[in-house]
Amino acid sequence: MLKSLLGRSAEARAEAWLVSRGLAPVTRNWRCRFGEIDLVMRDGATLVFVEVRLRSRRDFGGAAASVTPAKQRKLVAAARQYLAGLKTLPACRFDVVALDGRGEAEWIRNAIDDMG
């Protein structure tokens, strides 16, 4: 329960932080059989799939390092499912917002290079 509350709080903070930097929210916690996309945002004409990671400590590389290759594959599969529901395919990218225990954010654009 506490973990899910922390996760929702982190997602809300990340969304507000991205909005303050010019992105527009599309949806939050989009789910399909392949997994969940924390945030879907727009950056101009680009659709941005955002993975939000929260870590209180930097052991094992911190929040950004927790987006493993297996997690990346799940995100790509979920994004493909999301895109399949659109009439036209926009440019898209994957970003990570890594929040640390102090509440500071690191925004990693193009965190996953491609949809393959």
Q: What is the pLDDT of residues 70-85, one digit of tens each?
A: 889 999 999 999 999 9
- Kindly give the pairing relationship between strand 24-32 and strand 46-54: unpaired
Rounded alpha-carbon distances, angstroms, from residue 112 to 7, 18, 93, 94, 102: 21, 18, 8, 6, 25
Domain that holds residue 31: 2-112
For residue 63, is pLDDT > 60? no
* CATH code where residue 43 lies: 3.40.1350.10
**pLDDT, mean over the chain:** 86
Structure token pair of residue 103: 């509440």
CB count within 10 Å of CB 50 equals 25
Residues 6+ apart with CB under 8 A from 19: 25
The number of folded domains in the chain is 1
- What is the pLDDT at residue 67? 79
